[in-house]
A and B are shown apart, each in its own frame.
Chain A
Amino acid sequence: MTRDVAGIGLGLRYDLATELLERTPKSIAWLEIHPENYLDRGGRYQEMLELAREDWPIITHGLSSCLGSVEPFDARYLKELGTFLKDLEIPWHSEHLCLGGADGRFFHDLLPLPFTEEAAAIASQRLIEMRDAIGIPLALENASYYAPQGPDGLAEADFVVEVLERTDAKLLLDVNNVYVNGRNFDFDPRLYIDKIPMERVVQLHVAGHFVRDDEVRIDTHGEPVPDEVYELLDYTLRKTGPVPVLLERDNNIPPLDELLSEVDELWTIYRRATGVGNAP
């Protein structure tokens, strides 16, 4: 059994959890968690999750099972993850289309895959293997990247679609990542969005990013969502329809009221673009 997830969600983060869980603002329709932060962990994190589940449906988004890694999955971890996810009654789980480690070591960051046939084959095989192991629908997320991986920036969209088609998978479309990549590699992010088969999109992410002095944009999740990303979200929602949208904020976390202002802006865009979805 799964719980319905729609509208605007927020990531459950340690630094904002106390105020969020006390106030339980009604404009937030659901919460997203990273399973790695809760698996085999008691204390405050266990308490946060238990309290959150009293008021919100949960969606999970993994950090460590990067689909493009070249080493075998840890079967024990996948079993623990599958058990954890089933207990949460989630509609789907998502992981990044990237490379997260090598030679038995984890990068703890999302490193880019080259947009090659080999990488698409590896990522597709791993996605299917992981989906079978956890027994829950698995969506991939397009990643941000800073070093060129193909002949042009839009090659990434073809790469993402290739993996989607090979695996019949769902997509968590990160609108901020598309925007960041568009600025870093000089393409129109709307052309990227146009290449995506919208029937596969089950969820969207939006966030802010950091602009370095050399103009390279880094996907920090540590800044307010910029107007250009709001505009790209509007463009995307008009194509996808009312799929759930997550506001990601992982660093430089401001007072909750500042985040709620961004949530309100997202609801405005959501309603305008889709014609549905009042805040609960």
Chain B
Amino acid sequence: MLPDHAKAMQRVCFGAEPSEADLELLGSRERWLIYRDLVRNRLDQVIGVALARTKNAIGQDAFRGAVDEWYARERGPVTRYLRYVPSEFAEFAIPVWQRTEAPWVADLAGYEISAWEVRHGPLDPTPAHDFAFDRKPVLAAAVKVLRLAYPVQQSPIPDAGYDPDPTILCLYRDKNHKAVPRKLNPLAADLLDAWRAADETVAESVQRVAAAHSTDIGPEFVEKLSSLVTDFIQRGILLGGAAQ
């Protein structure tokens, strides 16, 4: 029966060790082991590209072990899109690395996978209006806010990794289609989160977030807010305003 064959193929390709019973069911043991290599090599490659710095940081063997464990546990990716496979793996691996690797590795992997997702993110929406404080904002589709304990967007200290230094980043896709980090202060990060949610006008979100940070909306605040909005528009993070 074809469903039984399909599940045997799945176990041969993703199992920790292919069983002799499955290989016998499918026939031609050596040839099915070729398929196991082909399937795993393709996935290994895209995962290794997306998480290249993490792989280098924890070493080939540890990275290989995490990937193999993921294959055995999940029995293959749920996504049909090869570009989303690294995200599925990272969702499994980052909690593991939080327990088993240096404390900054999880931040590094999170940063790398976020950059990958920004780079390969969806099409940007087309705003109905120019940016306005009395409208809900429209942001680029590929924007993320990361709150990190370690400044992993920078190069590591040789043979040491990173010292703790809490860092908030906005990752966005620039005009050359690269994922670019921009540092944010906590209030700007909360504003950007509110604008990504897009369930209130810009004025409403500014008032709410400023109050949450116990910040008066005075001339100095307005000047900084104006600079932030201008910068976000120039970087292509903030695209405009929504229809009412």
Interface residues of A (CB under 8 A from B): 36-37, 39-47, 64, 68-70, 74, 77, 99, 101-109, 111, 113-114, 116, 118-119, 122, 146-148, 216, 218
Contacts and interface: CB of A to CB of B under 8 A. Distances in A.
B177 A44 contact: yes
Contacts of B81: 36, 39, 64
Interface stretch (B71-79, B159-167, B196-204): B71-79
B127 interface: no
Contacts of A101: 6, 10, 76
Contacts of B35: 109, 111, 146-147
B31 to A, nearest CB: 4
Contacts of B239: none
B187 interface: no
A267 B142 CA distance: 42
B185 to A, nearest CB: 28
B80 A77 contact: yes
Interface residues of B, number: 42
Interface of B: 1-3, 5-7, 9-10, 13-14, 26-28, 31-32, 34-35, 38-39, 42-43, 74-83, 85, 119-124, 141-142, 173, 177
B9 to A, nearest CB: 5
A244 to B, nearest CB: 26
Given A47-B177, A118-B1, A146-B31, A105 B82 contact: no
Nearest to B82: A108
Given A108-B39, A119-B2, A46 B7 contact: no
Contacts of A39: 81
Contacts of A105: 10, 14, 74-78
28 contacts: A36-B80, A36-B81, A36-B82, A41-B121, A42-B123, A43-B173, A68-B2, A70-B2, A77-B80, A99-B2, A99-B5, A102-B9, A102-B10, A103-B7, A103-B10, A105-B76, A105-B78, A106-B79, A108-B42, A108-B85, A109-B35, A109-B42, A111-B39, A146-B31, A147-B31, A148-B27, A218-B34, A218-B38
Nearest to A39: B81
Contacts of B141: 42
B36 to A, nearest CB: 10
B7 to A, nearest CB: 5
B75 A103 contact: yes
Contacts of A36: 80-82
A252 B77 CA distance: 25
Nearest to A77: B80
